Every structure is written in structure tokens, then in C-alpha cells.
A and B are shown apart, each in its own frame.
Chain A
């Protein structure tokens, strides 16, 4: 078990060693986002801009016009919520080489409550032209994604979670932007999941196996550009479920639904996620139970739609 944000912090340190153009910015939360690890190694390439997210995002854009690969980091909600227009103009439209990293995304943030539980960040970033959107499922994938995003020239958003996550991937895992990973094959249904929900989807598949259902799990770690082939393949089972720690409007569920509709794929379909409402303060585990986000709920959803 390891928090996904730790993989981001480690990835930055490794990347900093091999790429001298990498700079890291933070907005006063470097202890939580793990960018303080980069600061320790490369103090001259680290910029703590203070609690000034909008200022940070445009400064990152400025640095990138001088050849820097700029990682601008904060809690997802504040990083994006406070800077939509800065991102729209100085990052997306300007196609600057800025990587936005939002930690503490989703209901899984827990006790800090809804002001800190970003549940619409993916929606905001999906609707931003030129933006790549990545949601790693574990710390290693986050580390690999940091390298892939640095390779990619242009704007990107990487969504990180606070809580501990299962460790799925090892050092030889190859992360490719736009490529989904099949975590488990299955004939009766496929759960397409992102981030901390991959672990919940795996738990659901296990529950369903005991019920005699062979259910696959796909880790859709890039939401934009979306791996359409992986969705078309999943649809062959006739049952597709999406699982995200994000509003079901505008996130993974919506993205998958768009492909299913455009490709005229006739499947049973359900979106697991925040049901267009704010959650509350509480331990992440209890919130997942109350708001229908854990493996049990995913399993129940698979059964309910598979029956119809």
C-alpha cells in the first residue's frame, strides 16, 4: 500500500535527475503534494509560489515559454477551481508545456470534507482543448506518468489521490499516454475504472467471481485522449460499468458513454461515482460505503444491469 501522490513525488525527483529543464512549482502545500522531495534535491528548480494558485499557473506558463517543463502542483480542487481561465488562456490555448498536478482529488480525501474533495476536476480538464488528462491507479503508474508527460510536449493534467492505494505495477510497467491496461480479463462484463477505483473494481470482480460471473477490469489511466479501442473491446461482453471517484457527469463515465453512443454499441451500462452531489466529512472508507463507491456497490451494479 502506498499513496498515489507519493509516486508523483518520487517521479519528479527521478525526472529531475535526467532532465535539467524540469521545474516544479507549488502553491503552499508542498508537504502534502510531495513536491518538497524535489525541493530537497533541486532547490534552485523548485518554486513555492505561496497560496496563490492562479499566479502559479501563469508563472508556470511563462517558464515554459523559456524552454522549461513546468509541473504546477496543488490540491486538485484549488489548483483547477481557482485557475480555470488562467489554464484556458495561458496553458490550453497557448499550448504551453505546463503539467498541472492535482493531489487530494475525490471523495477519498475524507475528513477535510467537500471543499477539499475535488469531484469535477476531470470534467473541467476534459473540456479544455489541447489538454491531456491522466489518472494513475497506483504510485508506480504515477511515477511513470510523470516521465510520459514530460516527454509529451504540451498541456496535461495528472490527478493524484491522497489515500493509500494497492500497488499494481512494478518497475517494468510501461505507461503510454492514451493506452488503457487490462488488469483482468472477463467474459460476462467489464468494469472500466480510474485511480483509486481500480482497486475497488478489482474487489468487485472478486466478489462477482464467487457468484459465477467472469468480470474484467480495465484501468483507463488516460481519459484524454481516450483509448476507444479498449472501450469497443469491453463492449463485446455486453455489460460495461464505469467507476470513478468523481462526479458521474463529465468524467470517465461520460467519456465512455460518448464512445458507446457514437459507435452504436448496444450494451448494458452504468456509471459508478459521485451521483452529482457533494459528499461530506468522514473516513474515506465510510464515505465510500455511504456514497456507493466501493467494490460491493460496483458488484451490485454489474449484477443489476447484467440481469436486464
Chain B
């Protein structure tokens, strides 16, 4: 696969934002805020960083990706469709009966490694994949995106300790640090900062970037992929609802679909 540069990726990301919103509006429900905050990272992962073959989702050498914050799946589905895991028409069936695209990711969908939707499980699964890879002498990487609110789950920290202790340096975890959870701002709900110091104390190497700056995302991922000693954490500072003025940093846009008028305005802004 040819490697896209920052400006081409950025264009792609913009188109993905539009498709995410149309997809959620058409479904009538879903999670726009967290899909828009994670999408630039997903774009770089799938169109530059990761090694995969969409026609062979079970190719044993593939890099793995886990969306631990499973509710952000509209962002992931849009990217998987563009990558060729399934036809784009499937996006119009999101959350409808009989669809392969469930409201939260299920591993019967091509490209989905494991079911998520209950927060706090992805990193442990990633550890398992990394340990199996070590056993089988594979050199794949395991990428995952965690929510910042998700870091409040205790199970994340059990997993963080495991990865650090076992020196799972092929794990690259990215925190979509959009400062909001469902019913409140993360810092008011239960502050998770300093994220870097916490993970470092657990044996991780960390980087902090602007999660909407393509140059920074590319650099951070390439840097993390070179790791030989420690698991890698990228704290990506993002904005929930990024790109849509009335959604940005708003509590109300965690799990609500835009209506027709809101969609129109949003698409106008994303031209």
C-alpha cells in the first residue's frame, strides 16, 4: 500500500468526518462526539501506519487494531469501509436490524478483532495478542484506542501493569484525550491526569501530541513503532465533536444523532 502524506491524509479525514455524521444521522442514534475526536488518528493508522490486507482479515501477520472505546465505532466503520473490509453500502445499515454493523463493534464484522462496548477490556485483550505474538515469534504490532473516561475503569490499570511488567513493546496504545466522558468532563467526574506519569510509573514510554495534527500523529506512531523495550502510550489531546462547531466540547453530543437540520449545518461546516 502506498503511504499517504499528511495533507492527503487530512483531506481523507475531512471526508470521513462527513461520512461519520451522515452515517449516524441515518442510523438515528450513535456516538458522534467520540467518533469525531478519534478519526484523525484512525485515518493515519489505516492509511499509513498499519500493515493489513482487507481482503484477508485473518492474515496472521497483520497488525491488530482494537477500539477499546467501542462506542466510537462509526469512526472505525467508515475507515474499514474505505479500506475495503466491506462495501460502503453497509454504512447505511448501521444499527438497523440484520446489519453487520452493530451499535458497538462485534467480531463477526470483517476487520473487528474483538467485541467491545463495555469499557476497560481492550488493553487486556491487546496484552493477550501481544503475548501470543511473542510465543509465535510474530512481529506484528497491536494498536488500540482508549477513551480518557475509559481510563477510570480499574481493569485498564491491571492491564497497564501487565504490559509494563511483561515489556510488551509491540503494544501502541493511544488515548483519545478529549476531556469528556458521557455525563461530565473527565476532570470533574474523576480526574485521570497526569496520564503520562501514571503510565510511566507502570513501565510505559509515553508521548503527548495534538491528536488532530497529522504531522504529529504520523511522527508519534512511527516513533512508537520503533520501540524495543517498553509498551508505548500516545496521549492524543483531542476535542470531542471536532470539526462541528455546535458539537465541539459539548456534553450533549456524546451519544445523540444529529437531526436533518443539524446534519446540514455540520456538513456545511465540513466543506
A50-B152, A51-B119, A78-B118 as given contacts; A112 in contact with B183, CB under 8 Å? no
User: Interface residues of A, CB < 8 Å — how many?
Assistant: 31
A36-B183, A48-B189, A287-B97 as given contacts; A112 in contact with B103, CB under 8 Å? yes
**Interface-lining segment among A14-22, A24-32, A219-227:** A24-32
Q: CB < 8 Å: which of A49, A51, A113 contacts B104?
A: A113
Q: Type the 1/0 row for B170-192, where 1 means its CB is closer than 8 Å to any CB of A.
A: 00000000000111100001100
Contacts of B95 on A, CB cut-off 8 Å? 111, 113, 281-282
Is B183 touching A280 in the complex (CB atoms < 8 A)? Answer: no
Is B184 touching A48 in the complex (CB atoms < 8 A)? Answer: yes
Interface membership of A301, Cβ < 8 A: no
Is B189 touching A280 in the complex (CB atoms < 8 A)? Answer: no
Interface membership of A115, Cβ < 8 A: yes
A282 to B153, CA, bound (A): 28
**Which chain A residues in 44-89 approach chain B with CB under 8 Å?**
48-52, 54-55, 77-78, 81-82
A280 to B154, CA, bound (A): 28
A interface SS class: loop
Is B182 touching A29 in the complex (CB atoms < 8 A)? Answer: yes
A51-B150, A282-B96 as given contacts; A113 in contact with B182, CB under 8 Å? no
Is A81 touching B118 in the complex (CB atoms < 8 A)? Answer: yes
Q: CB < 8 Å: which of A31, A36, A52, A286 contacts B190?
A: A52
Interface membership of A283, Cβ < 8 A: yes
Interface membership of B19, Cβ < 8 A: no
Q: CB < 8 Å: which of A30, A52, A111 contacts B103?
A: A111
Is B149 touching A281 in the complex (CB atoms < 8 A)? Answer: no
Is A48 touching B103 in the complex (CB atoms < 8 A)? Answer: no
A55 to B156, CA, bound (A): 13
Is B189 touching A290 in the complex (CB atoms < 8 A)? Answer: no
Contacts of A112 on B, CB cut-off 8 Å? 29, 103-104, 117
Contacts of A182 on B, CB cut-off 8 Å? none
Minimum CB–CB distance for A44 against chain B, Å: 16
Interface membership of A292, Cβ < 8 A: no
Q: Type the 1/0 row for B29-69, where 1 means its CB is closer than 8 Å to any CB of A.
A: 11000000000000000000000000000000000000000
